[in-house]
Structure 1
Amino acid sequence: MLRALRSLYRLFQMARSAARHGALSPFEEALAGAGLTPVVLFFIRVIFGRPVGDLRPGERLANALSELGPAFIKFGQVLSTRSDLLGEEVAADLAKLQDQLPHFSAFEARSTIEAELGSPIDLLYLQFDDVPVSAASISQVHFAVTIPDAENPEGRDVAVKVLRPDIELAFARDIDLLLWIAEVIERTQPKLRRLKPVEVVKTFAATVRVEMDLRLEAASASELRGNFEGDPTYRVPEIDWSRTARRVMTQQRLSGIPFDDGPAMRAAGLDVDEVLTKAAGVFFHQAFRDGYFHGDQHPGNMSVGLDGAIQVVDFGIMGRIDKKTRYFLADMLMGFVEHDYARIAKVYVDAGYLPASQSVEDFTLALRSIGEPIHGKPLADISFARILGQIFAAAETFDMEVQPQLLLLQKNMLIAEGVSRQLNPHLNIWGLAQPLIEQWMIENRGPQARVEQAGRELVHAIERLPAVMRNIDRLVGHLAEGGLKLDPEALKVINRTGSNWWLWIIIAVLAAGLLFTR
């Protein structure tokens, strides 16, 4: 009861903020189901509403979330990856949410560092800048210089990320509120259940848990750095693990030119087209070669070194795509390039994505409506991010669930395309990546690659045989001890199958052995 009263009061505050920014109308049905009657909503709108000009719904919502505080800003940023729920325009507006908040005191930052690392700050850093270079919803960043050692006799320039004081408690309260609202919506609003509000909030909570433990963010940076070891085109900061803990992360300091500042790149003697070519290669390698990509690659997190290398920071949101899904994506996009819509539909069926209750022919027709407008266009003129968005929308129509990681990938593709056009309107970033795409397709989805894949699967099956046989021995021993008895009626059925009854027993035993090894 106390939780409900507390949540209703906070919900009133949310409705007031939404009304103030003209963002209440999309949520009136859900808010009414959560306990706010139409009369209350009417008075909230009358008392707190104000003219909002010609702002789009997504811009109004972004303004309201910014006013509600750090947890809601972060929630809006996570929602910006769900264009399947909000539509592309609203998702794009939420992606612009900035979480530049007032910074907390240097005393609190120093106290956190000393408590986490168990040492006075003067023994950790030769110099520590008290004024942070950025202050976001969850943490802020200070520049520092490490104590000199044998490897770095003058110390090392680093960036130190520190969590906000008591941020875990603040986020826990707001996540509990969001979960309560989601639960009420699912109970009272059947039409909104398809949006899976509880699942969305739980996904958000999981994302925040990762960002609240800076050791996990450091591990993400380390994995991404390892994937590009020896590649001069992409620079991921090195983690200083001796000065990293749950609430503190120390990493190599990177300096460079903001990724969307074309004039500054040219003034530094860099070729913008060459920078974009590197960025296209980096994006492709992350998504298809490694299946592990930076999930928030906006210009604020990316810069260009004076040597032209792409540089990235902030590893709180990462995406992972398994090999099977990468092959699915490749086959699907290849089908669009070749205008083979029946083949694309088959890819969906084979992957188990298209429900049996849906018409393959109707889905093929929907795919054709997406693919025909790009017929005859060169790869450089095709927006794969837009294609993916349309495919995800079609998937929703045919009751297919879209993987959140693919939505995150699509969001990053949209950002990459937008920045590319800003720097050079005549270039398409995917056209720059075309040689890499074609080579990857040949190596991974060409006829020879498929034969080699089938061979690997056969070898894997053979390697599993000893384990299968051991489990069969265990199963036979279990049978000998009377652990399994056949029903008399089952024996009659076996007898009626004729002389091949023993074959069915062998198949059943082999199947059981395979199951035991999974």
Structure 2
Amino acid sequence: MRAGWTLAREGALGLVDVHDLPAPARLVVRLGRLVEKRNVSGGKGLAAALVKLGPSWVKLGQFLATRPDVVGFAVARDLEELQDRMPPFPQAVAIAEIERALGGPLHQFFAELSEPVAAASVAQVHKGVIRDADGEREVAVKVLRPGVDRRFRSDLSTFYFAARTIERLDPRSKRLKPVETVDMLARTVAFEMDSRLEAAALSEMAENIADDPDFRIPAPDWNRTARSVLTLEWIEGIPLSDIDRLKAAGFDLVDLARIIIQSFLRHAIRDGFFHADMHQGNLMIDASGQLVAVDFGIMGRAGLKERRFLAEILHGFITRNYRRVAEVHFEAGYVPSSHSIDDFAQAIRAIGEPIHQKRADEISMAKLLTLLFEITELFDMKTRPELILLQKTMVVVEGVARRLNPKLDMWTTADPVVRDWIERNLGPLGKLSDLGQQTREAGKSFTLLPSLLNRAETLAERLNEATEKGFALKPESIEAIGRAEARRNRWGNAALWIIAFAALYLAWNLV
């Protein structure tokens, strides 16, 4: 109710096209528009409403800002304000939080600390200076917003209520697993609320991408990092949201779009560990032309099964092998075996053929997502919570790349990364690697064999002893059994008395 009122009051309902809605929904939208403020615009009103509703809603706005092909370019521009230009909290509050978190006065850790240079829904960033034995260096100091964890908990309670209500009112929605989806969001939020975990994510990803030529990340400063404060290398660069500055600096936007797509696919498919919040506000280009990502609060992981699924799906679409795409869905258990592989391959072809060899600006992502949703319902496909972050990030990354290169060919761009992974992991080299892994696992099992045999022998001896002498019970166990039996007898007696009184009552009424 609060969300509906806030959206209506800020004029966000003006963005809704009522023509395709059922009659009750059209009535709700029209009634909602009666309470909207005067002189509000849809996009700015939506952004204002999401800020008022809380940080989780702001995340939704950041996601929508990357998809102008779905929400429209004007709305997407208004929603970009949510990425790194939120209202900051006071400098004094930030300093107090830094001193509390790090356990000492500010000057003990930083020689200088600027006013906020960027503010988002979860935290704001200050530019700091450190002077120590290594000299002077600039750092970014990220401070969590006071009370943001409490607001997230409030949002999550709302989402849980909505998810359970949806499942109760519409049993068909259970295949979308709304409650499990909120569970996944809750786990993600828990990680985002601890800056030490973000520093650990930076450290792990730095190891993974050490040899990548086009992508880098800032290094964390562990000595100046705590639960609510993260200190890391200062990055000087141009945000990907500033297209005009990128052009003026002479960067090749087409090549930048390629780097974004291929970097994400390498991290997701090759490493199984990826930045799951890659909107324009978290990406920039440094002077050397490298793509630099910041804000590692939300990270995604993909197991070998999910990585193979993603690689084979993309490879199948690239090569137009829709039968193989269908088989992979069945092998992974994403489509119930009661359906036909051939029928599902036909449905996949209906998705793939219209977009194959088409430029990004020739594809309606809104129509494509609608078709995908209809097919998942037709084939009883359930939401896979383990794939949600991966799928969401793919949509965001493709949206960012399309802004840089509206004629982006997704399939040609993805092909080198996907093909390399397929050859390494599913080709002859991959099979040899699997054989080696299986041999190592068999070797481990063989070394455990003596221990397993000893345990089996001990178990057999104890069972034999119990058969001959019976099972010995401790005094406290006998006492607990007696108490349980007494309770059972009391309830049994009570039940008999209730039955007796009921019989007498019935007999009295009959008489």
Q: TM-score range by the shorter chain?
A: 0.7 to 0.9
Residue pair 2:278, 2:396 contacting (<8 A) in 1 also: yes
Q: Distance in 2 between matches of 1:225 and 1:334?
A: 27
Hey, what does 1:310 align to over in structure 2? Answer: 291
Task: Provide Cα deviations, 1:160-194, integer angstroms capped at 9, x if missing partner.
Answer: 11112222233333433433343344344445444
> 1:221 aligned to 2:202?
yes
Instruction: Identify unmatched segments of 5+ residues in structure 2.
Output: 17-23, 468-511
Instruction: Identify unmatched segments of 5+ residues in structure 1.
Output: 1-10, 27-36, 487-518
Q: Distance in 1 between matches of 2:172 and 2:358?
A: 41
Q: Which amino acid aligns with 1:104?
A: F
> Bigger shift: 106-115 or 205-214?
205-214
Q: Distance in 1 between matches of 2:252 and 2:240?
A: 13
> 1:136 aligned to 2:120?
yes
Cα separation, partners in 2 of 1:444 and 1:112, compared to 1, 3 Å: same
Hey, what does 1:322 align to over in structure 2? Answer: 303
Cα separation, partners in 2 of 1:459 and 1:79, compared to 1, 3 Å: farther
Q: Distance in 2 between matches of 1:255 and 1:398?
A: 49
Q: Which amino acid aligns with 1:19?
A: A
Q: Distance in 1 between matches of 2:62 and 2:249?
A: 33
Hey, what does 2:354 align to over in structure 1? Answer: 373
Residue pair 1:388, 1:410 contacting (<8 A) in 2 also: no
Residue pair 2:118, 2:124 contacting (<8 A) in 1 also: yes
Cα separation, partners in 2 of 1:333 and 1:197, compared to 1, 3 Å: closer
Hey, what does 1:48 align to over in structure 2? Answer: 35
Q: Which amino acid aligns with 1:133?
A: V
> 1:15 aligned to 2:18?
no
Cα separation, partners in 2 of 1:215 and 1:44, compared to 1, 3 Å: farther
The Cα shift of 1:441 comes to 2.2
Q: Distance in 1 between matches of 2:29 and 2:291?
A: 51
Q: Distance in 2 between matches of 1:394 and 1:338?
A: 21
Hey, what does 2:97 align to over in structure 1? Answer: 112
Residue of structure 2 aligned with 1:150, choices 133, 142, 166: 133
Residue pair 2:311, 2:418 contacting (<8 A) in 1 also: no
Q: Which amino acid aligns with 1:14?
A: A
Hey, what does 1:493 align to over in structure 2? Answer: none
Q: Which amino acid aligns with 1:17?
A: T
Cα separation, partners in 2 of 1:118 and 1:386, compared to 1, 3 Å: same
> 1:444 aligned to 2:441?
no
Identity %: 38
The Cα shift of 1:415 comes to 3.8
Residue pair 2:140, 2:231 contacting (<8 A) in 1 also: yes
Residue pair 2:177, 2:382 contacting (<8 A) in 1 also: no
Where in structure 1 do 4 or more consecutive aligned residues deviate above 6 Å?
A: 40-44, 50-54, 78-81, 90-95, 378-388, 483-486
Q: Distance in 2 between matches of 1:42 and 1:420?
A: 34
Q: Secondary structure at the match of 1:460?
A: helix
Residue of structure 2 aligned with 1:101, choices 75, 83, 86: 86
Q: Which amino acid aligns with 1:16?
A: W
Q: Secondary structure at the match of 1:367?
A: helix
Cα separation, partners in 2 of 1:324 and 1:452, compared to 1, 3 Å: same
Q: Distance in 1 between matches of 2:206 and 2:174?
A: 40
The Cα shift of 1:485 comes to 11
Residue pair 1:385, 1:410 contacting (<8 A) in 2 also: no
Hey, what does 1:350 align to over in structure 2? Answer: 331
> 1:171 aligned to 2:152?
yes
Residue of structure 1 aligned with 2:110, choices 125, 129, 133: 125
Cα separation, partners in 2 of 1:134 and 1:445, compared to 1, 3 Å: same
Q: Distance in 2 between matches of 1:141 and 1:256?
A: 15
Q: Distance in 1 between matches of 2:112 and 2:15?
A: 51
Q: Distance in 2 between matches of 1:80 and 1:127?
A: 34
The higher-RCO structure (CA 8 Å, 6+ apart) is: 2
TM-score after normalising by structure 2:
0.75
Q: Distance in 1 between matches of 2:58 and 2:119?
A: 13
The Cα shift of 1:404 comes to 4.2
* Aligned pairs (5 A) from 1:272-351: 272-351=253-332
Residue of structure 1 aligned with 2:187, choices 206, 212, 217: 206
Alignment coverage as a number of residue pairs: 452
Q: Which amino acid aligns with 1:107?
A: A
Task: Provide Cα deviations, 1:179-232, integer angstroms capped at 9, x if missing partner.
Answer: 334334434444544443333333322222222111111211221222122544
Cα separation, partners in 2 of 1:463 and 1:260, compared to 1, 3 Å: same
Q: Pairwise CA RMSD of aligned residues?
A: 4.1
Cα separation, partners in 2 of 1:96 and 1:132, compared to 1, 3 Å: closer
> 1:454 aligned to 2:424?
no
> 1:398 aligned to 2:383?
no
Q: Distance in 1 between matches of 2:30 and 2:256?
A: 54
TM-score after normalising by structure 1:
0.74
Hey, what does 2:167 align to over in structure 1? Answer: 186
Q: Distance in 1 between matches of 2:367 and 2:412?
A: 15
Q: Secondary structure at the match of 1:125?
A: coil
Task: Provide Cα deviations, 1:346-379, integer angstroms capped at 9, x if missing partner.
Answer: 222222222233333322221222233356x399
Q: Which amino acid aligns with 2:230?
A: M
Q: Distance in 1 between matches of 2:455 and 2:160?
A: 47
